[in-house]
Amino acid sequence: MKSIILIAAPAAGKGTEAALLKEEYHIPHISTGDILREKAAEDSDTGRDINYKINNGIFVSDELIIDILKERLQKEDCTNGYILDGFPRNTEQALAYQDMLQELGKELGVVIVIDIDKDKAAKRIAGRRSCPNCKSVYNVNTEGMKPKEEGICDKCGHKLDQRADDNEETYIDRYNTYLEKTSPLIAFYDKLGVLYHVDGNGDKEATHEQVRKILGA
């Protein structure tokens, strides 16, 4: 199984696709945000440093992220591949990741961009709801993504949340920032011949089937 990097604008369905890949291919979904939060909970100098930066809105350095990611990728569950989410975010991180893979003797795998129209994504994000307990994601504006009971998580019964910035007005700025920051990264992987695009404007099944074809399922 190849390792997979997922790149997508907010509300394009990256988290949903990662969950489907994890379930079907039995490989870990590695979110740099999650592993930083896990590290921040540790009673260590590094953990306390990361915790301070997260709580005060200070960026964690690329070097530290690379070190933590390197430690994670050496665990046994990553032997047959993994899904990388939230990293790399720019070409500098991509180059550092290339060096790390060479050091670990791992292959790059494939990079999949989930494309979505800005207006479509803006409407989708306004309906997004998430479970703070089990991290499940729903969408009240999308068929097949609605919770069975309004406002309640299907999996654990916890009350669902809506992020304060999940609205159409704020989203336009986030989408434009995504395009600005991500375009050079997409071009970087395109030159390496490992980049694939899928259409994320349809439902999750349609998106997943495109990804499966790329992976040779």
Enumerate the active-site residues.
14, 89, 128, 163, 174
The single residue listed with the structure tokens 């307990």 is 133
**In this structure, are residues 207 and 113 in contact, taking their beta carbons and an 8 Å threshold?**
no
Q: How many CB atoms lie within 10 A of CB 168?
A: 13
80 phi and psi, to 5 degrees? -100, 20
* DSSP per-residue string spanning 99-163: HHHHHHT----EEEEEE--HHHHHHHHHTEEE-TTT--EEETTSTTTS-SBTTB-TTT-PBPB--
